[in-house]
């Protein structure tokens, strides 16, 4: 009896489907995608959703975006209430908080086998793996590189960007200008821990001087040693010893570079867009200079997508398929072309065309040896390094002491976070 009814119902459903033209039907699954508002990201996502829907006519994806400032609050309020996104974008550094708060669920092992992802993605993406399971994956990543002003290089007779830290100092000396009173009017290289330099110090300089900034999966601070001190001496020396920079020069490092008052500037790939719009500024990009023993290092950060705990049943299946598409080569190429963020997989990044791209190339090549700091609280940990330099600069504290204080402060932040 029940079987007959079910057969009739099935027949009816098929008939109804055929009648409605088969396209948009009552069986369409609607899933929601959330990200924060940034013009290019929204545009790229619109394109991705469009082609995803074309290939998966049974799924509709609705995108919602919020100003960055409200993002976390909105996500936190919506998901436990059974509302909001099925697939959500989050900063890699928030992963632990999101897992802890039960907002996201692990990616299914059948579709996203951990071993295959380890192989397919750039190595730093492994930070998204918790106890052998991936919880989130990026479409695009960012890394650091050295921007240089071609006109200032030419003026000083410099032919190629520096490839080592020693060369960096020499080039910076040649391109620094001062007025009669000795005030710097053009810096050789911009510095400022408040910008990207704290990443350069942590993941790049400390490693290049032979150290290992953290141990125990980023739970133990380890830069308060000989290598850390050398790295700090190098960094602080740019201003104090060589006089090729001033830490608050023109308010912000990127402003100085944009205004053509800085010959070199270390920044992330996200800066490309705003520099490209700057008229009259001829700039190039090079990989970060190698350390004294030739060590190359880089820092990578990224936004990831994850499936929320709200997605279940057929919405879950649809979300998995959408995630699959977001981590596909095709999606990564779209993201690179529209947003200018780097592909998260070597299969897209290391193509002949992308890896040798004049602008993106140095960033993408940097991904091969980039690391991702697992922050407990990025802004607090950044503040520790900002203060470390400020103490030596404004209060005359010896570098060694200031480094020790910084390590202690940062350890306290980590301890508090992991104690919970």
Q: Which residues bind another protein (CB under 8 A)?
A: 69, 72-73, 76, 97-98, 100-103, 179, 181, 183-185, 192, 194-195, 246-252, 261, 377, 379-380, 383, 386-387, 390-391, 394-395
Closest approach of Cβ 95 to another protein, in Å?
Answer: 12
Closest approach of Cβ 184 to another protein, in Å?
Answer: 7
Alpha-carbon distance 282 to 59, whole Å?
Answer: 45
Closest approach of Cβ 243 to another protein, in Å?
Answer: 14
- Phi first, then psi: give them for residue 291, nearest 5 degrees: -75, 180
Both tokens of 29, joined, read 């699954």
- Burial class of 206 by CB neighbour count within 10 A (0 to 12, 13 to 18, 19+): buried
For another protein, give the closer residue by CB, 29 or 414.
414
Closest approach of Cβ 252 to another protein, in Å?
Answer: 6
Closest approach of Cβ 55 to another protein, in Å?
Answer: 34
Alpha-carbon distance 176 to 243, whole Å?
Answer: 8
Could you tell me the CA-to-CA distances from 220 to 215, 216, 335 in Å, in that order? 5, 6, 35
For another protein, give the closer residue by CB, 261 or 345.
261
Alpha-carbon distance 316 to 420, whole Å?
Answer: 30
Q: E strands, 249-312, where?
A: 262-268, 283-286, 298-308
Q: Cβ distance 399 to 177 under 8 Å?
A: no
Helix axes of 378-394 and 399-419: crossing angle, nearest 10 degrees: 160
For another protein, give the closer residue by CB, 26 or 181.
181
Give Dmax (Cα) for the chain: 100
Closest approach of Cβ 259 to another protein, in Å?
Answer: 8
Both tokens of 7, joined, read 């057969």
Closest approach of Cβ 25 to another protein, in Å?
Answer: 37
Using left for φ > 0, alpha for ψ between -120 and 50, and beta otherwise, residue 216 falls in left
Alpha-carbon distance 171 to 244, whole Å?
Answer: 9
For another protein, give the closer residue by CB, 197 or 341.
197
């Amino acid at each position: 009896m029940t079987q007959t009814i079910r057969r009739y119902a099935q027949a009816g459903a098929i008939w109804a489907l055929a009648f409605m033209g088969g396209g948009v039907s009552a069986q369409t699954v609607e899933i929601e995608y959330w990200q924060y508002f940034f013009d290019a990201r929204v545009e790229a996502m619109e394109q991705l959703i469009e082609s995803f829907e074309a290939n998966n006519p049974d799924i509709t994806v609705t995108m919602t975006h919020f100003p960055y400032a409200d993002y976390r609050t909105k996500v936190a309020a919506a998901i436990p209430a059974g509302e909001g996104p099925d697939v959500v974008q989050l900063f890699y550094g928030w992963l632990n908080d999101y897992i802890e708060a039960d907002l996201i669920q692990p990616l299914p092992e059948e579709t996203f086998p951990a071993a295959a992802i380890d192989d397919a993605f750039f190595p730093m993406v492994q930070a998204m793996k918790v106890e052998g399971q991936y919880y989130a994956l990026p479409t695009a990543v960012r890394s650091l590189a050295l921007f240089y002003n071609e006109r200032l290089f030419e003026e000083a007779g410099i032919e190629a960007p520096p490839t080592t830290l020693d060369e960096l100092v020499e080039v910076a000396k040649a391109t620094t200008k001062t007025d009669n009173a000795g005030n710097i009017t053009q810096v050789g290289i911009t510095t400022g821990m408040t910008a990207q330099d704290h990443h350069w110090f942590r993941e790049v300089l400390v490693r290049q001087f032979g150290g290992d900034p953290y141990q125990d999966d980023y739970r133990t601070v380890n830069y308060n040693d000989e290598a850390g001190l050398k790295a700090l001496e190098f960094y602080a020396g740019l201003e104090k010893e060589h006089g090729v920079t001033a830490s608050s020069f023109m308010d912000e490092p990127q402003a100085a570079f944009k205004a053509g008052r800085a010959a070199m500037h270390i920044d992330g790939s996200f800066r490309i867009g705003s520099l490209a719009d700057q008229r009259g500024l001829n700039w190039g990009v090079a990989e970060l200079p190698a350390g004294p023993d030739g060590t190359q290092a880089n820092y990578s950060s990224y936004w990831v997508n994850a499936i929320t705990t709200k997605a279940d049943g057929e919405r879950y299946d649809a979300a998995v398929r959408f995630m699959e598409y977001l981590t596909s080569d095709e999606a990564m190429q779209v993201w690179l072309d529209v947003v200018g963020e780097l592909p998260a997989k070597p299969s897209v990044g290391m193509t002949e065309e992308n890896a040798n791209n004049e602008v993106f190339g140095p960033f993408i090549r940097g991904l091969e040896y980039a690391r991702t700091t697992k922050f407990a609280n990025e802004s607090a940990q950044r503040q520790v390094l900002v203060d470390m330099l400020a103490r030596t600069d404004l209060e005359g504290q010896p570098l060694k002491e200031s480094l020790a204080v910084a390590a202690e402060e940062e350890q306290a932040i980590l301890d508090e976070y992991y104690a919970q």
